[in-house]
Structure 1
Amino acid sequence: MKRFYSWGLVALLLDLACPQSTRAQIVGKSVPAFTTAAGTLIRPGDTLRLGRGTLPNGDFQYVFVPDNVFTGSKQQNFTSQLSNLWVRVKDIRVQRSRNFGEKTVAVVKANTLNGCVDLNAAEAAGEIITAHTRTAAVSAAAPASAAPPLSTADELLKLKKLYDQKVLTKAEYDAQKARLLK
């Protein structure tokens, strides 16, 4: 019974000496869900796929382990070795700052690390892959659609221009013109 009281006393003293805000690893107000600027709905329990880091050395700029006031550790960005990793969203927090305004971060579990993902910035930079960024990447990588076919008059003008520039001979010009007018 005496041991129970001593642990209770230690917990009470710890609570008085270090308020909850200084012990919290990741600050901010918890929210049940968040929709990014691109339209992706993210909730706790969802999984996010990390893309590639945007820093010059390949590390992530918007996926990081935040600084911890209690232990004195500084913010550490996720390394490029964590590219293409699936992470589970544990919580979503809105953080307010006088200098930077408001940002929403997802608290994620990646292997043994608890980290943060700045949702809007990471999605815009391609550091997290979502349905919206995947379709944008696919459409950007897809070749441009073929130009609409030119009309016969446009084709004839193009041929005439090539003939006038001496690119086509008279025989080639006449053959192409006959093919178009059929």
Structure 2
Amino acid sequence: MAGRYFVIALSIFFSFSGYAQQIIDKDTYEAKNGMVFRVGDEITLGNGSNFNQNFKYVTGQDLGEGIGVSYRDKKLKIKSIKARGSNKIGKTNYLVVGSGFRTFWVDIEGAIEFNEVIVPDEFKAKKTDGLHPTFSIADELSKLKDLFDEGVLTKEEFEALKKKLLDRGYN
């Protein structure tokens, strides 16, 4: 039984992905990078990521119908925030945006990752040289301590994981 909890602790320990994307309420969405989008805000399109410079993650009303390169640098107003899919196959979060009478669906996580939406520098992924962590050591130590306090980890497991974390963070 302790082995199972140790595996759970390890999976938590090695999940340094930062923020989880989420629809906060029907008018607000927080992306993985921490950027918050609200109905009424504007987004600016970047460059299409398809081989022909068209957009892959910004589509017309019929999902899958990418839009063309002519939309580069366009400002679009967020009309609504929607999730499509199911718990079984997974959900994708979309910003429904518009320009005049046209409506587009933006798979916001994909659009951010592939620069189809312009993101302020403070929310851009930090590049790492492999020597410095891109996660907070203090946060990860706190998670381990919580698992230890809850009895999920033994003292030995806690110390071993703590040492691994500290060695990885400073080496």
Structure with larger Rg: 1
The alignment status of 1:108 with 2:118, answered yes or no, reads no
Instruction: Name the SS of the counterpart of 1:121 in structure 2.
Output: helix
Tell me which residue corresponds to 2:116.
127
Q: Distance in 1 between matches of 2:118 and 2:51?
A: 19
Partner in structure 2 of residue 60 of structure 1: 55
Cα separation, 2, equivalents of 1:60 and 1:133: 24
Give distance in 1, aligned partners of 2:72 and 2:89.
27
* TM-score, normalised by the number of residues in structure 2: 0.54
**Does residue 1:86 correspond to 2:81, yes or no?**
no
User: Please, which runs of 5 or more residues in structure 2 have no aligned partner?
Assistant: 1-24, 128-171
Query: Is 1:76 matched with 2:71?
Result: no
1:39–1:132 Cα contact (<8 Å) kept = no
In the alignment, the residues of structure 1 paired with residue 122 and residue 98 of structure 2 have an alpha-carbon distance, to the nearest angstrom, of 22
Calculate the aligned-residue CA RMSD, in Å.
2.4
Letter in 2 for 1:126: N
Match of 1:42 in 2: 37
Aligned 8 A contact 1:108 1:114 in 2 = yes
User: SS of 2:56's equivalent?
Assistant: coil
CA distance in 1, matches of 2:97, 2:71: 13
Percent identity over paired residues: 23
1:21-40 alignment, distance < 5 Å: 31-40=26-35
Q: How many residues align?
A: 103
Q: Which runs of 4+ in 1 moved over 4 A?
A: 132-136
Which residue identity is paired with 1:120? E
Determine the C-alpha separation between the residues in 1 that align with 2:91 and 2:33. 17
- Quick check: 1:32–1:43 contact (8 Å CA) kept in 2? yes
More helix by share: 1
Q: TM-score, normalised by structure 1?
A: 0.51
Do the aligned partners of residues 113 and 97 (structure 1) sit closer, same or farther apart at CA in structure 2, a change above 3 Å counting?
Answer: same
CA contact (8 A) 1:60 1:78 kept: yes
The CA distance in 1 between the partners of 2:90 and 2:66, in whole Å, is 21
1:104·1:119 contact (CA, 8 Å) conserved in 2? yes
